[in-house]
Amino acid sequence: KPDLLIIDGGKPQVTVAIETLGNDIPVVGLAKRYETFVYFTNNEFIEKLLPEGGAKNLVVRIRNEAHRFARRLHHNLVTKTLLGEI
């Protein structure tokens, strides 16, 4: 079981993750606008701007890699569909 789950998105995505997983795994969202961490604690959402530095760069690179992976997968699925390979 992971120690932390980083979700690509803000309050709505974090809410769905918490509803789905419960409170067993801490969930943090990375909202694209201003690179903001979003998390839920003590029955409220907290938003924190990530300070410039290595930690922010790491989290942004993780998010960008997830986007790259998803775009590539989608592209491959569309290509297979158009070529009739599915």
Q: Which residue has the higher pLDDT, 85 or 64?
A: 64
Instruction: Identify the pLDDT of residue 34.
Output: 81
Instruction: Identify the pLDDT of residue 49.
Output: 92
DSSP per residue, 7-45? EESSHHHHHHHHHHHTTSS-EEEEETTTTEEEEEETTEE
Q: What is the C-alpha separation between 73 and 66, in angstroms, rounded?
A: 11
**pLDDT tens, position by position, 12-41:** 999 999 999 988 899 999 988 788 999 999
Q: What is the C-alpha separation between 80 and 4, in angstroms, rounded?
A: 35
Radius of gyration of the chain (CA): 16
Instruction: Identify the pLDDT of residue 45.
Output: 94
pTM for the predicted model, two decimal places:
0.75
Residue 85 above 70 pLDDT?
no
Q: What mean pLDDT comes out for the span 39-52?
A: 92
